[in-house]
């Protein structure tokens, strides 16, 4: 392992240049916008479903399809960042995101019969851009930021990744309280346009490009694998109302077979360095254990963010604005704790952080499962969700840092793509499972009627109980987390 003194002259300097700062600032701000958008629809789902006449299992596809699309797109980012310049990838990602936002805005002028379909297309377009943005940000940070300053930057990323998704429900609540729901897209559209214009003006290339091939079969297998699994889980709730539909085990079986084929395909392609995701990243035990733990953690986080608006609005009779305000303190606490937790990681390592974090998360979920009743105080919901976010904050930054620090520099792109992929898959599956269990526990609600608070609480109890049991796995997994040995420094940077 070479020291900094022995690094090549083209390696990243110990101080960021002004051009580097512009690139990272633009990436961070753009990432904040797209991640804010990721959860802005969740709190408005009850309003959208009532307006368009769709049930919860169908409505949650606006959330699930977003995350599923990201899970399909993210494996392509390694190819995209090698084949095209950083500037081209950024402009393409923001361009897709902005196009999707414009389509969502225009859906207000569509016939009501096709509005939901148009909204689904808009969310998929938005997610296509978002899916590229996340690994692009992570890879750029590992390329540009000196090792001595990565802890600070990871803390800032933690703020963006944690705060933006939680401010989304608040922004969504404010919008649907005072404006029609299409304003969810109208508000984001100018931000996307500004980011696109700034990208055209200021973004530069920071990496070398090469004519690497893309494996079409891998793309097809990834769509079948991840799409089949999430679609199968999502249709469990539909069987409650329509027992004659195709068994959800059919798409799940197809998904599992396609996933196995995808893995074998990548193992073959990585021999010639042409895999979409080089699975040699899993040879690092630090990366593997951290990613497995993040799968469970993200399923719980995204599942709870989707479930809570239903419990708060339908069970506690709160409006969307109150719903957003109730989850905001926990999200802000989680985000603001990011730099603090990151600094502690540098001093004491991950285990003194992730072990307490796992126990706090588990205890919070068990309390939520039994205390979220029809008569629960809104302050009880706020307090327990804040406790949950404290536990997740202690887990998030250390796990991400352990995973990225556990791989060598030539695998940064694959590692960031792999982490982002499993995060989105876990989030999509968590959302589907939570909503299916919620729907089954709540029972069938006749069209035009509102579920009773007792029925809503029953469905919520079932979903949170499953989450509490899943959190026990986190308690076990964190004992396998170790701080990895220092890997290679940052890659050479080509700035033009």
**Within a domain: residue 487?**
no
| CA separation for the pair 466, 362 (Å, rounded) | 11
Distance of CA 278 to CAs 214, 323, 485, Å? 13, 42, 21
pLDDT score for 6: 33
Residue 214: both structure tokens together: 């893309």
**Within a domain: residue 259?**
yes
| Tens digits of residue pLDDT in 22-35 | 888 888 888 888 88
**Within a domain: residue 232?**
yes
The answer on 285 and 264 residing in a single domain is no
The answer on 223 and 155 residing in a single domain is no
> Mind giving me the DSSP string for 362-381?
HHHHHHHHHH--TT--HHHH
| CA separation for the pair 401, 451 (Å, rounded) | 43
Residue 319 has pLDDT above 60, yes or no: yes
Q: Give how many domains the chain has, as a whole number.
A: 2
Per DSSP, the three-state class of 5 is: coil
Minimum mean pLDDT among 164-168, 280-284, 396-400: which range? Answer: 164-168
| CA separation for the pair 173, 323 (Å, rounded) | 7
Spatial contact of 26 and 137, defined as CB atoms under 8 Å apart: no
**Within a domain: residue 428?**
yes
> Mind giving me the DSSP string for 403-448?
HHHTS-GGGHHHHHHHHHHHHHHHHHHHHHHHHHHHHHHH----TT
The answer on 306 and 219 residing in a single domain is no
Q: Between the ranges 70-79, 99-108, 233-242, where is the mean pLDDT highest?
A: 99-108
Spatial contact of 157 and 28, defined as CB atoms under 8 Å apart: yes
pLDDT score for 492: 47
**Within a domain: residue 8?**
no
The answer on 433 and 321 residing in a single domain is yes
The answer on 308 and 354 residing in a single domain is yes
Domain that holds residue 161: 18-214+276-480
Spatial contact of 36 and 175, defined as CB atoms under 8 Å apart: no
| Domain edge (last residue) among 251, 275, 299 | 275
> Mind giving me the DSSP string for 12-58?
PPSS--HHHHHHHHHHHHHHHHHHHHHHHTGGGHHHHHHHHT--HHH
Residue holding tokens 């802005």?
40
Q: What confidence tier does 444 reach under pLDDT thresholds 50, 70, 90?
A: low
* SS3 letters across 258-288: HHHHHHHHHHHHHHHCCCCCCHHHHHCHHHH
Spatial contact of 189 and 102, defined as CB atoms under 8 Å apart: yes
The answer on 455 and 327 residing in a single domain is yes
**Within a domain: residue 11?**
no
Give the residue-averaged pLDDT of 453-459. 87
Spatial contact of 330 and 166, defined as CB atoms under 8 Å apart: yes
The answer on 380 and 241 residing in a single domain is no
Residue 279: both structure tokens together: 């699975």
Residue 472 has pLDDT above 60, yes or no: yes
User: Which pTM was predicted?
Assistant: 0.80
Give the residue-averaged pLDDT of 464-474. 92
Residue 238 has pLDDT above 70, yes or no: no
| Tens digits of residue pLDDT in 367-385 | 999 999 888 898 999 999 9
The answer on 290 and 250 residing in a single domain is no
**Within a domain: residue 304?**
yes
| Tens digits of residue pLDDT in 79-98 | 788 788 888 899 999 999 99
Q: What confidence tier does 491 reach under pLDDT thresholds 50, 70, 90?
A: very low
The answer on 220 and 189 residing in a single domain is no
**Radius of gyration of the CA atoms of the chain, in A:** 22
| Tens digits of residue pLDDT in 102-160 | 999 998 888 877 888 899 999 999 999 988 887 888 778 777 777 666 666 777 777 77
| CA separation for the pair 238, 45 (Å, rounded) | 17
| CA separation for the pair 319, 321 (Å, rounded) | 6
| CA separation for the pair 251, 451 (Å, rounded) | 30
The answer on 179 and 66 residing in a single domain is yes
The answer on 202 and 92 residing in a single domain is yes
Mean pLDDT of the chain: 82
189 half-sphere exposure, CB direction, 13 A CA radius = 15
Spatial contact of 202 and 107, defined as CB atoms under 8 Å apart: no
Residue holding tokens 């606006």?
62
The answer on 310 and 206 residing in a single domain is yes
pLDDT score for 98: 95
Q: Could you tell me which residues come within 8 angstroms of residue 184 by beta carbon, excluding any fewer than 6 positions away?
A: 40, 41, 44, 104, 172, 175, 176
**Within a domain: residue 446?**
yes
CATH number of the domain where residue 74 is located = 1.20.1250.20
Give the residue-averaged pLDDT of 391-412. 85
Q: Between the ranges 156-160, 177-181, 483-487, where is the mean pLDDT highest?
A: 177-181
């Amino acid at each position: 392992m070479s020291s900094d003194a022995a690094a090549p002259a083209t390696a990243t300097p110990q101080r960021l240049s002004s051009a580097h700062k512009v690139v990272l600032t633009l990436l961070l701000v753009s990432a904040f916008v797209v991640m804010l958008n990721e959860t802005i629809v969740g709190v408005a789902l009850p309003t959208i479903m009532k307006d368009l006449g769709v049930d919860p299992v169908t409505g949650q596809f606006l959330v699930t399809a977003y995350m599923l699309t990201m899970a399909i797109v993210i494996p392509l980012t390694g190819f995209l960042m090698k084949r095209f310049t950083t500037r081209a990838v950024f402009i393409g990602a923001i361009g897709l995101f902005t196009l999707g936002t414009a389509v969502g805005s225009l859906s207000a002028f569509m016939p009501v019969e096709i509005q939901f379909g148009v909204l689904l297309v808009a969310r998929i377009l938005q997610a296509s851009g978002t899916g590229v943005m996340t690994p692009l940000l992570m890879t750029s940070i590992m390329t540009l930021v000196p090792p001595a300053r990565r802890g600070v930057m990871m803390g800032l990323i933690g703020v963006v990744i944690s705060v933006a998704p939680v401010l989304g429900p608040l922004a969504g609540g404010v919008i649907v309280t005072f404006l029609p729901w299409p304003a969810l897209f109208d508000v984001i559209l100018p931000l996307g346009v500004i980011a696109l214009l700034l990208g055209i003006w200021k973004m530069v290339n920071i990496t070398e490009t090469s004519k690497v091939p893309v494996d079409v079969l891998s793309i097809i297998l990834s769509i079948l694998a991840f799409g089949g699994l999430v679609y199968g889980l999502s249709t469990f709730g539909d069987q409650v109302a329509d027992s004659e539909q195709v068994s959800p085990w059919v798409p799940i079986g197809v998904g599992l077979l396609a996933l196995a084929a995808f893995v074998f395909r990548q193992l073959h392609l990585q021999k010639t360095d042409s895999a979409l995701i080089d699975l040699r990243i899993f040879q690092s035990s630090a990366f593997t254990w951290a990613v497995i733990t993040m799968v469970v953690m993200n399923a719980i986080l995204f599942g709870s963010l989707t479930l809570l608006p239903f419990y708060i609005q339908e069970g506690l009779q709160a409006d969307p604005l109150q719903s957003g305000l109730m989850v905001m303190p926990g999200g802000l606490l989680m985000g603001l704790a990011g730099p603090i937790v990151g600094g502690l990681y540098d001093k004491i390592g991950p285990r003194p952080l992730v072990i307490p974090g796992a126990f706090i998360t588990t205890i919070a979920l068990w309390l939520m499962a039994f205390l979220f009743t029809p008569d629960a105080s809104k302050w009880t919901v706020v307090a327990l969700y804040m406790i949950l976010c404290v536990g997740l904050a202690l887990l998030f930054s250390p796990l991400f840092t352990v995973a990225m620090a556990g791989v060598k520099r030539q695998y940064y792109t694959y590692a960031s793509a792999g982490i982002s992929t499993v995060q989105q898959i876990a989030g999509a599956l968590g959302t589907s499972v939570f909503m299916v269990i919620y729907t089954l526990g709540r029972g069938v609600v006749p069209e035009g009627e509102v579920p009773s608070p007792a029925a809503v609480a029953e469905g919520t109890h079932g979903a949170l109980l499953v989450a509490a049991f899943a959190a026990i796995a986190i308690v076990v997994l964190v004992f396998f987390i170790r701080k990895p040995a220092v890997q290679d420094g940052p890659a050479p940077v080509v700035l033009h």
